[in-house]
Structure 1
Amino acid sequence: MVTCYCWLLACTANAAHDWPQWGGPARNFKVGGPRLAKTWPSGGPACLWDRPLGDGYAGIASVDNRLYTMYRSAGREYIVALDANSGKTIWQHHYPAPFLPKTDLQPGPGPHATPLVAGDRLCTAGVTGIVHCLDLATGAVIWQRNLVQDFAGTVLFRGYSCNPLRYGDSVILTVGGEGQGVVALTLSQGNVKWKSQNFDISHASPLVIQFHGQAQLVVLASRCIVGMNPDNGLLLWSHEHPMTGGHIASMPVWGTGDRLFFSFAYGGGSYCLQLAEENGTTTTRPLWQNKRMKIHHSNAISNQGYLYAASGDFGPKLFSAINLTTGKLTWQQRTLGRCSLVYRDGNYLILQEDGQLTLATLTPESLKIHAQSQLFEERAWTPPTLAGTRLYVRNRSRIMAYELPAAEP
């Protein structure tokens, strides 16, 4: 391990600013915490530590001064807990994970999914559909399921990538197939609490929204997007779309009040549904479609009626702002290309796929860059994790921690 900077004076992230799952506390890539300074030292944010890690795109969960992620090495998948202050391994669990037939992991062998911290347990999903529930403190296996062997679930060309979602006493996963498009497993033993719906899955992860006082589980599947009751899997609404699951990777975004946005590349474009409540029933209607906004596998963030994300697949990559009411693109620019982003207190931390980090303000009118720093050169498809003033990032071979300057009081 290479220690880049003495971390003894760095502040420990407050538990209220933990990042326990894909997308952060609310699964929307927004997190509270100290205000960040808009200027950085000439060499960029201070590197606290930098250490080797195996291959993969799994995100980094951060809870109580520990980090949790996954990687692949020599045909095995590793689940690892690290000390957030030093990067040292606290525990790891590994298991054989031979690739499934008819999959092609050339863009990266996975794992793809971010571990989920659920109380004193850690839930993970590997690229071959092997799901674990581990003791958070020790890494001991509590239960394990294989979504392909146990359920004959959908096998996608690029492997399994659903980020586990906690709801109450269960962990929810997309599986695919007749009567089991989505499956809820009990956190205690991994038993099936409910399974529901008849569709093949996509690479996109589910989320829970609140609409008129009701929790709704939103799942972007192959050729449809649905709303379900997360307590029992009951279908609340469904809307068809034209794209097959293997070409869908970006999680839907719940916008202001009643707007549900989803997008895919490969010619698919972006869509927005408007939800309404009529006599206790949720209805949906298409609000708009825009073929010029097409999110490949990056995340998107909604703020004050607008959505910001990188658009493009194999052609030009355009960072874009779009109006969630009209579907009108208010600006697009090539500076940032394909990237992922995190929101804090009016500003965005944007990690480009070439390893450059940008601090910017995004508005419906413009992109204003405050600071930039080249963190590394290798491909960065994993969204960064922000906890307090700590930023944790990874590429396909290393994991790093940086201390971001805080704003003056």
Structure 2
Amino acid sequence: MHAPPPADHESSLPTPASRVFPLPHNPTAPSLRLALWIIALGVGEIVGTWWLVPNSTLQIASLFLGPPAIGLALLGWLLFGLHIGWKKRVGLVLWFVGLATATGVLVDRSVYVSFGFQGLPLATIASTLSAWLLQRLLGPASQRLVILIIPLTLCPWLLLGSDGTTGESLPVFRWRWQLSNEQRWLRRTKPPTQTTASKDERTLVGADGDWTGFRGPRRDGKVTDIHLQADWQQHPPQQIWRREIGPGWSSFCVVENRVFTQEQRGDSECVVCYHASSGELLWVHEDRARFWDAAGGAGPRATPSFFAGRLYTLGATGILNCLAAGSGKLEWSVNIAQSNQAPIPTWGFTGSPLVWRDLVVVCAGGNQQQSLIAYDRSNGRRRWASGNIGAGYGSPHLATLHGVEQVIIIDDEGASGYELLTGRGLWQFNLGGIPGDKTLQPCLLDQQSFLVGMGNGIGTRLLQCNRAGDDWRIEQRWLSKGLKPKFSDLLYHQGYIYGLDGKVLVCLAGDSGKRLWKGGRYGAGQLMLLGDNLLVTAENGALALVAAQPDSYRERGRIKGLEGKTWNHPAYARGQLFVRNGREAACYTLSQSP
């Protein structure tokens, strides 16, 4: 017998895809290998920075600049690789630019930024790869089809709308014909046509346990004289009321039995008063103003401040009001942007007014000594103005450093201290970073030191204030990359620091900045200290109770508190927890230990 012939070595190898689905060789088509390398390197850079350096400036830059870079590189690959005349190449570019411009004009306003940074580059990628495939298959006959492919890659963006972004700057898409949360609410709630004042003319005087402004009376987010039932399985929070409200990122001010907040109602920016026990609407003050941005949407950002029977509020466009807290009657009003030649910040005015003695202090961000402004709280007249730096997104913060009462402001460049009586600048510390990333309150440790946290890869600093007569100096004691809060404020409790590093809760040692633990996933939420527990409002609306202890992370309970994206700070007064977002507000009671 004859032995069988040896098997063909090549026939035993896997069959290349090009032999299963053969593409005709076309010398006029550019090489695909370079295009694949462009895509692989570009996508790899975006994914790599997303995972390796989260919450950093590099991550944000790669998200917004990476896709355009890939698109431009592929466009260059196609134009210079195609063996066609320059007139046709220029015509193809002009056709794409014209269609992209028309699409940019016609897209829904809410997706304009996403279209520019992600949609347009993705359309460029899809168009160039489609053009290559058609050129490879059909040769010169593909040119008319390429002209038709380009609008097909752009048109889908005409179908999209957006409800803003997540805390990680990712767009939240919806169909364009679907109503936004605000539009649905307005269909069910008639916007006010005029200010609705309460018939109750009595003056609110306040009482112990009031939550008189942003993050409480001291702006530190702490309630120490409380002992909660830590077992939420046996003693969960009990909902007292829930109601729909207008959009905005304001928190609550709670005085006696009144709850004050700010919200957008159609074209009116409103200060609203609800009954603390029932959620019943008591009065509304409106200003014809509307602020909107693509990330946060519509509505005011600051929180009302209560002092001696009056309410002081700052709208996102710069309207500073003084209202009678009992009735909502307007006492005086001034526009801090117009009167101080200050631009409206990119994300609107967010700083809640600080009331000290007979002054109301706000950050306008104007130049020529018109950055930090103090008004007479009784009549709205300007008492002093100081500073030349643009506004940040934190609120003026009262502090006593080395026995001197002063206001600390985190402006667009760093941290600064000003004498309250005169507005004289005392000290300044440059924080670096990029414009728009200074959003948090300083977190005071004692009369000599405080924390400043920043996201975008910067981290949390411990700054120490030194004084020799009139000479003030700020030095950095440590910088921790283990806690990079974007817009979630810090808490300091018994020598330890708690905050959200991106979306993960962490604990740092106060003396060194060393990270002791991290755990949980809360998104761009907020924190409050209730006794020995952290109350966390997660970005998705969940409420969680976490032990404020340095040895380990331990979540003690979690409930679904609100529906929708929740960036707002919670408020607590006399056993009641008040939470809200841009869609709804709710009140819960928290069980306390006997």
Q: Give the AA of the match of 2:293.
A: D
Contact 1:319 1:337 in 2 (8 A): no
Q: 1:231 to 1:105 in 2, by over 3 A?
A: farther
Work out whether 1:80 is the aligned partner of 2:269: no
Name the counterpart of 1:386: 572
Contact 1:252 1:260 in 2 (8 A): yes
Matches within 5 A, 1:353-364: 353-364=539-550
CA shift at 1:318, angstroms? 1.9
Larger radius of gyration: 2
Which digits, 9 at most, give the CA deviation of each residue in 1:337-362, with x for residues without a partner? 43211112222211111111112212
Q: Which of 85, 105, 109 does residue 298 from structure 2 map onto?
A: 109
3-state DSSP of counterpart to 2:559: strand
Structure with larger RCO (C-alpha < 8 A, sep 6+): 1
Work out whether 1:165 is the aligned partner of 2:354: yes
Contact 1:221 1:245 in 2 (8 A): no
Name the counterpart of 2:107: none
3-state DSSP of counterpart to 2:317: coil
Name the counterpart of 2:283: 91
Work out whether 1:338 is the aligned partner of 2:524: yes
Q: Which of 245, 264, 288 does residue 454 from structure 2 map onto?
A: 264
Which digits, 9 at most, give the CA deviation of each residue in 1:248-279, with x for residues without a partner? 21111112442221122223322221112324
Which piece of structure 1 moves more, 244-253 or 295-304? 244-253
Work out whether 1:118 is the aligned partner of 2:310: no
Contact 1:62 1:387 in 2 (8 A): yes
CA shift at 1:69, angstroms? 0.3
3-state DSSP of counterpart to 2:436: helix
Q: Which of 417, 422, 431 does residue 227 from structure 1 map onto?
A: 417
Q: Give the AA of the match of 2:485.
A: I
Q: Which of 473, 478, 485 does residue 288 from structure 1 map onto?
A: 478
Q: Give the AA of the match of 1:255.
A: L
3-state DSSP of counterpart to 1:148: helix
3-state DSSP of counterpart to 2:544: strand
Q: 1:334 to 1:46 in 2, by over 3 A?
A: closer
Which digits, 9 at most, give the CA deviation of each residue in 1:148-171, with x for residues without a partner? 211122421111101111111111
- Runs (5+) with no aligned partner, structure 1: 1-13
Q: 1:280 to 1:325 in 2, by over 3 A?
A: farther
Report the Cα distance in structure 2 between the residues aligned to 1:304 and 1:277, rounded to whole angstroms.
Answer: 26
Q: Give the AA of the match of 1:321.
A: C
Q: Give the AA of the match of 1:350.
A: V
3-state DSSP of counterpart to 2:439: coil
Which digits, 9 at most, give the CA deviation of each residue in 1:73-106, with x for residues without a partner? 212111111110111111111111134xxx7343
Name the counterpart of 1:142: 331
Flag as ranges the 4+ runs of structure 1 deviating above 6 A.
Answer: none
Contact 1:222 1:243 in 2 (8 A): no
Report the Cα distance in structure 2 between the residues aligned to 1:19 and 1:98, rounded to whole angstroms.
Answer: 27
Work out whether 1:211 is the aligned partner of 2:211: no
- Calculate the aligned-residue CA RMSD, in Å: 1.8
Report the Cα distance in structure 1 between the residues aligned to 2:558 and 2:294, rounded to whole angstroms.
Answer: 32
CA shift at 1:127, angstroms? 1.0
Contact 1:56 1:110 in 2 (8 A): yes
Is the helix fraction higher in 1 or 2? 2
The share of aligned pairs that are identical, in percent, is 28
Report the Cα distance in structure 1 between the residues aligned to 2:452 and 2:218, rounded to whole angstroms.
Answer: 18
Q: 1:42 to 1:374 in 2, by over 3 A?
A: farther
Report the Cα distance in structure 2 between the residues aligned to 1:75 and 1:123, rounded to whole angstroms.
Answer: 21
CA shift at 1:71, angstroms? 0.5
CA shift at 1:139, angstroms? 0.6
Report the Cα distance in structure 2 between the residues aligned to 1:264 and 1:75, rounded to whole angstroms.
Answer: 33
Q: Which of 239, 246, 252 does residue 442 from structure 2 map onto?
A: 252
Work out whether 1:23 is the aligned partner of 2:215: yes
Is the strand fraction higher in 1 or 2? 1
Contact 2:410 2:439 in 1 (8 A): no
Contact 1:319 1:338 in 2 (8 A): no
Work out whether 1:350 is the aligned partner of 2:350: no
Contact 1:117 1:123 in 2 (8 A): yes
Report the Cα distance in structure 1 between the residues aligned to 2:514 and 2:299, rounded to whole angstroms.
Answer: 35
Q: Give the AA of the match of 2:377.
A: L
Q: 1:112 to 1:82 in 2, by over 3 A?
A: same
Q: 1:244 to 1:144 in 2, by over 3 A?
A: farther
- Runs (5+) with no aligned partner, structure 2: 1-205
CA shift at 1:32, angstroms? 4.3
Q: Which of 215, 223, 244 does residue 52 from structure 1 map onto?
A: 244
3-state DSSP of counterpart to 2:338: helix
Normalised by the length of structure 2, the TM-score is 0.63
